[in-house]
Amino acid sequence: MNFQEISRQLRKNGHKVTPQRMAIIQTVLGSTELLTPSSIFEKVKKTDPGVGEVTVYRTLNILESLGMVCVVHTDEKTHSYISCPTEHHDHLICSDCGKVVNFTHCDLGTLEKRLTAESGFNINDHRLDFYGRCEKCDRKQCKAKTPAEIRTHRESCH
């Protein structure tokens, strides 16, 4: 998604196109790894020091409402976000480096029918996340323990 498409998408939904917003959006959409509000803030600050942390939170809410990012549930206490396609998809998440791969065609139709019959539930949605190690991390096993080590390791994977 390029600058113009993003701008159009924003305006179509009644949002203004501001430099802060665009800086944040380009950082988020240009990444394939899991991002937290504060990690986004840190990244954006390097190129656009004028952007406030609160604006990151606000922009993430807009992106979520537009379906351009997903909230990924991790064991951490902060929200994690990942840029994603707007059609239905699920996630493969690397537990070492935070890389996320979207995949489509989860083919849960059969399972869903079985569960509907067994439970009486009227199912209308699901969330499927696979966890494991991406190819890179699987080769160089991660030994990082401290937050700083994990950050270094993650950077070496991207």
- CA dist 99 and 19 (Å) reads 27
| Contact of residue 94 among DNA, its own copies, none (CB under 5-8 Å per partner type) | its own copies
Among 101, 144, 150, 157, binds its own copies (CB under 8 A): 101
Determine contact, residues 28/81, Cβ cutoff 8 Å.
Answer: yes
* For DNA, the closer CB: 81 or 134: 81
User: Taking CB under 8 A as the rule, does residue 126 contact its own copies?
Assistant: yes
Backbone angles phi, psi at 90, to 5 degrees: -130, 180
Joined together, the tokens standing for residue 151 give 């950050």
DSSP 30: T
CB of 11 to DNA, least distance (A): 6
Pairing type for strands 80-83 and 100-103 reads unpaired
- Please report, as ranges, the residues that interact with DNA according to CB under 7 A: 7, 11, 14-21, 36-38, 50-55, 57-59, 61, 77-79
Q: Is 76 in the site for its own copies (CB under 8 A)?
A: no
C-beta of 49 vs 120, nearer to its own copies: 120
Nearest-approach distance from CB 47 to its own copies, in angstroms = 30
**Residue 91, C-beta contacts closer than 8 angstroms, at least 6 positions apart:** 70, 72, 82, 100, 101, 102, 103, 128, 129, 130
- CA dihedral 65→67→68→72, nearest 10 degrees, is 90
The answer to whether 131 contacts its own copies (rule: CB under 8 A) is yes
1 binds its own copies (CB under 8 A): no
134 makes contact with its own copies (CB under 8 A)? yes
Which residues in this chain contact its own copies in the complex, by CB under 8 A? 73, 92, 94, 101, 103, 106-107, 110-112, 115, 118-135, 138
